[in-house]
């Protein structure tokens, strides 16, 4: 398969970027999208040219590093997968593929297709955890029964890999789906209820400080999320936030 690639190249966050055309040949349909980029980079190395920088780690749809905007869609044309799980059989011989970094004010470009998503880390650090009593009086977590439905919803929220597709898909670059997933995974469990008020207030405050936009319930975030995180988490976080605000 021979493909035409239009790839965003940008030296740094402050440098001016632009689209650059490339061609790759001999691409097999069973290759992953990242393997196709590997082949392009091998060709560029042979020519003595600067390789295209893109983020990746596990290549198994777990870490969320491989965040690319492909033909205008976060992670490309397939659904419920990360970029590393996208196979080239989704494209046809002679196709032109446009590859860009995720676009958001809170996700500045580092170089080429790599963006800085440390804003998500700071939201998580604001209170995306449960404080553990290590005084010797710890309580067995299994001693408190949890409804099956709540346990399932908590687990589903916890599957968020923090890739940023929700932000890239949103016309407002909102991080509500990510933040609400992190809030929900604790709000649904007894261990998380103790600090629920402080958690939702702190995480929403940090989200706003990072410069993410507001949620307008378009729903593009859920559609493009590789883990199918539900909009119900946003509704839950809004209820948690309203309740916490009235307590203050």
Residue 61 Cα to chain centre, angstroms: 11
Judge whether 65 and 82 are in contact, CB under 8 Å.
no
Query: What integer is the mean pLDDT of 60-73?
Result: 96
pLDDT at 141 over 70: no
Judge whether 52 and 5 are in contact, CB under 8 Å.
no
Share of the chain above pLDDT 70, in %: 98
* 178-200 residue pLDDT tens: 999 999 999 999 989 999 999 99
Per DSSP, the residues of 206-247 read: HHHHTT-B------HHHHH-TT---THHHHHHHHHHHHHHHH
Place of tokens 């997933």: 181
pLDDT at 39 over 80: yes
The candidate with the shortest Cα–Cα distance to 124, out of 162, 67, 82, is: 162
Mean pLDDT in the chain? 95
Q: Say what the alpha-carbon torsion angle 43, 21, 16, 50 is, to the nearest 10 degrees.
A: 10
pLDDT at 80 over 90: yes
**3-state class (DSSP) for residue 152:** helix
Q: How would residue 244 be classed by pLDDT, with cut points 50, 70 and 90?
A: very high
DSSP H helical segments within the chain, as ranges?
33-46, 118-127, 148-158, 165-169, 176-187, 190-193, 196-209, 220-224, 232-247
DSSP state of 94: T
pLDDT at 132 over 90: no
pLDDT at position 83 is 98
Query: What integer is the mean pLDDT of 28-40?
Result: 98
**Structure token digits, residue 227:** 């883990």
Q: How would residue 146 be classed by pLDDT, with cut points 50, 70 and 90?
A: very high
pLDDT at position 248 is 61
pLDDT at position 159 is 97
pLDDT at position 247 is 78
Which has the minimum average pLDDT: 94-108, 115-129, 138-152?
138-152
* Cα(222)–Cα(6) distance, integer angstroms: 27
pLDDT at position 196 is 96
Residue 117 Cα to chain centre, angstroms: 9
* 198-221 residue pLDDT tens: 999 999 999 999 999 999 999 999
């Amino acid at each position: 398969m021979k493909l035409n690639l239009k790839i965003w190249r940008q030296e740094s966050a402050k440098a001016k970027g632009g689209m650059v055309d490339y061609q790759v040949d001999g691409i097999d349909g069973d290759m992953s999208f990242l393997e196709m980029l590997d082949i392009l980079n091998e060709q560029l190395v042979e020519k003595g040219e600067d390789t295209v920088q893109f983020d990746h780690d596990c290549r198994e749809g777990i870490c969320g590093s491989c965040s690319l905007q492909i033909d205008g869609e976060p992670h490309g044309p397939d659904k419920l997968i990360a970029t590393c799980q996208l196979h080239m059989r989704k494209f046809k011989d002679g196709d032109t593929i446009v590859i860009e970094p995720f676009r958001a004010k809170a996700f500045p470009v580092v170089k080429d297709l790599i963006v800085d998503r440390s804003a998500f880390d700071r939201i998580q650090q604001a209170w995306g955890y449960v404080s553990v009593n290590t005084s010797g009086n710890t309580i067995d977590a299994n001693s408190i029964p949890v409804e099956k439905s709540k346990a399932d919803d908590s687990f589903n929220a916890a599957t968020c890999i923090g890739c940023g597709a929700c932000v890239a898909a949103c016309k407002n670059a909102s991080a509500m789906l990510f933040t609400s997933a992190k809030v929900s995974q604790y709000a649904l469990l007894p261990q998380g209820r103790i600090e629920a008020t402080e958690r939702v207030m702190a995480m929403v405050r940090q989200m706003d400080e990072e410069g993410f936009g507001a949620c307008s319930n378009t729903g593009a975030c859920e559609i493009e999320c590789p883990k199918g995180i539900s909009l119900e988490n946003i509704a839950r976080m809004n209820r948690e936030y309203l309740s916490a605000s009235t307590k203050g």
